[in-house]
Amino acid sequence: MITRIFFFLLGFILMVIGFMYMIIYFNLLSFGYTYKEYLIYIFTHFECFIAIIGFIIILFSLYRKEKKHVKRIRHRFKFTR
Q: What is the pTM of this model?
A: 0.70
Tens place of pLDDT for every residue, the chain, 81 residues?
A: 788 899 999 999 999 999 999 888 888 888 888 989 888 988 888 888 899 999 999 999 888 776 665 555 555 556 666
Determine if residue 30 is left, alpha or beta; phi over 0 gives left, psi from -120 to 50 gives alpha, anything else beta. alpha
Residue 81, in any domain of the structure: no
Find the domain containing 15 and state its range: 2-76
Number of domains in the chain: 1
| Residues 58 and 13 sit within 8 Å (Cβ to Cβ) | no
